[in-house]
């Protein structure tokens, strides 16, 4: 006759090993408490010797049975409290991650009210904020930084996984905060500098502007070459309606000529040079579609490092302690019966 082999789990460690220090607690109490007993019994009963044998662990082996089971139950309880754990099979969870810089134009023309949001006329910056906020909601796991530019380029937030902070900083921006001109080349150069130290193939800049380079120290073409050499991929968005607007009694009236203010050809060259894509958005709906397309171009899911989850095994000693305690109680009752 052959007996089936039962594979017992091998504990790989204890989460709270200090609980094992409680193992000798009953022995210490037993050693301390008897010394404080009186020199003589206060009440003599005929079966006093039998009670002493059960309480003190003296006498025949079968009389010490409940005590041994109680000690064993306590030891198993301490082991369960220490939380023995076992390493499970290796798994490879998905990991997300792109180092993504957002560059947003804050020049004076971003205040033109030629956009609509919720059926209401809004300026370009307000429309861009709403669309970018929705874009950030879909980039969980990315490290995102925010650059704004006008007369100069400024990094409002460094690369961070705290997308709420990026969203708040973007929401606080106003037209003209960095000046009313357009330092397009400086914005690209600053983004390339911030992304250069990050892992390759994850360096992405999304540049939104409604104008041409009119300020700054760095030419956009030269800045694009620096970004290419740093391994930064640039997606450009030329943003703006068909013309400037003039508000008369709250109603936007379009003025001709505004569409020529965006350097679409220059933005296309920048994107092509760095391996990115160039987009043109004339309204809020098109802008939302562009950021959705960038989501598809820059997926965030990738395989992560292998990990071995820890499996809790404390129920095994806990159940054994409970069983030993019940046996000790049942044996003690049978001895007194």
A 10 A CB-CB count for 21 gives 10
Kindly tell me the sign of the dihedral angle through the C-alpha atoms of 259, 262, 268, 269. positive
Question: Are 98 and 137 contained in the same domain?
Answer: yes
Partners of 8 in the β-ladder:
none
Is residue 219 domain-shared with residue 335, that is, in the same domain? no
Question: Which positions ≥6 away from 131 have C-beta within 8 Å?
Answer: 284, 287, 288, 291
| Co-location of 274 and 325 in the same domain | no
| HEC per residue, the chain | CCCCCCCCCCCCEECCHHHHHHCCHHHHHHHHCHHHCCCCCCCCCCCHHHHHHHHHCCCCHHHHHHHHHHHHHHHHHHHHHCCEEEECCCECCEEECCEEEEEEECCHHHHCCCEEECCEEECHHHHHHHHHHHHHHCCCCCEEEEEEECCCEEEEEEEECCHHHHHHHHHCCCCCCCCCCCCHHHHHHHHHHHHCCCCCCCEEEEEEECCCCCCCCCCHHHHHHHHHHCCCEEEEEEECCCCEEEEECCEEEEECCHHHHCCHHHHHHHHHHHCCCEEEECCHHHHHHHHHHHHHHCCCEEECCCECCEEECCHHHHHHHHHHHHHHHHHHHHHHC
Q: How many CB atoms sit inside 10 A of residue 285's CB? A: 13
**227 and 326 both lie in a single domain:** no
> Is residue 248 located within the same domain as residue 263?
yes
- The answer to whether residue 102 is domain-embedded is yes
**39 in any annotated domain:** no
Q: Could you tell me if residue 298 is inside a domain?
A: yes
Give me the pLDDT at residue 174, please: 95
For residues 61 and 143, membership in a common domain is answered with: no
- Cα dist. 1→4, 8, 212 in Å? 10, 22, 89
Same domain for 203 and 107, yes or no, is yes
| Residues of the chain under the 70 pLDDT cut | 1-12, 34-66, 90-97, 242-260, 300-308, 335-337
Judgement on whether residues 273 and 287 belong to the same structural domain of the protein: yes
Domain count, the chain: 2
Please indicate, yes or no, if residue 331 is contained in any of the structural domains: yes
Q: Residue 101 domain-assigned? A: yes
Is 7 within a domain? no
Domain assignment of residue 207, yes or no: yes
Q: Which pLDDT score is estimated for 85?
A: 83
Q: Are residues 285 and 322 located together in one domain of the fold?
A: no
**Are both 231 and 177 inside the same structural domain?**
yes
Q: Are 189 and 234 part of one and the same domain?
A: yes
Global pTM? 0.60
41 lies in some domain: no
Give the pLDDT of residue 279: 95
* Residue 173, domain CATH: 3.40.50.410
Residues 208, 297: one domain?
yes
Q: Give the domain range for residue 336.
A: 51-89+310-337
125-135 burial string, b = 16+ CB within 10 Å, else e? bbbbbbbbeeb
Q: Is 200 exposed, middle or buried (0-12, 13-18, 19+ CB in 10 A)?
A: exposed
């Amino acid at each position: 006759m052959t007996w089936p082999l039962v594979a017992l789990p091998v504990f790989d460690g204890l989460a709270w090993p200090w609980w094992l220090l409680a193992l000798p607690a009953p022995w210490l109490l037993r050693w301390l408490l008897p010394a404080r007993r009186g020199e003589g019994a206060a009440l003599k009963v005929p079966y006093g010797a039998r009670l002493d044998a059960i309480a003190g662990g003296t006498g025949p082996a079968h009389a010490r049975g409940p005590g041994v089971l109680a000690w064993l139950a306590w030891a198993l309880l301490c082991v369960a409290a220490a939380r023995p754990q076992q390493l499970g099979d290796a798994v490879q969870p998905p990991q997300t991650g792109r180092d993504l810089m957002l560059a947003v134009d804050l020049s004076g023309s971003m205040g033109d009210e030629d956009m609509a949001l919720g059926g209401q006329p809004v300026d370009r910056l307000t429309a861009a904020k709403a669309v970018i906020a929705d874009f950030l909601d879909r980039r969980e796991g990315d490290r995102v930084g925010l650059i704004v530019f006008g007369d100069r380029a400024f990094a409002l937030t460094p690369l961070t996984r705290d997308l709420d902070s990026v969203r708040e900083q973007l929401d606080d921006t106003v037209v003209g905060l960095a000046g009313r001109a357009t330092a397009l080349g400086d914005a690209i150069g600053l983004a390339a500098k911030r992304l250069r130290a990050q892992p390759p193939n994850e360096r992405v800049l999304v540049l939104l502007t409604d104008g041409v380079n009119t300020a700054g120290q760095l030419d956009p073409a030269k800045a694009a070459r620096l970004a290419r050499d740093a391994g930064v991929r640039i997606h450009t968005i030329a943003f703006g309606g068909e013309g400037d607007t003039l508000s008369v009694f709250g109603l936007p009236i379009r003025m001709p000529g505004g569409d020529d203010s965006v350097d679409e050809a220059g933005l296309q060259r920048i994107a092509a040079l760095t391996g990115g894509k160039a987009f043109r958005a004339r309204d809020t709906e098109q802008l939302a579609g562009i950021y959705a397309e960038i989501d598809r171009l820059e997926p965030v899911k990738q395989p992560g490092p292998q990990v071995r989850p820890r499996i809790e095994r404390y129920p095994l000693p806990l159940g054994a302690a409970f069983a030993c305690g019940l046996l000790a109680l049942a044996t003690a009752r049978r001895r007194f019966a």
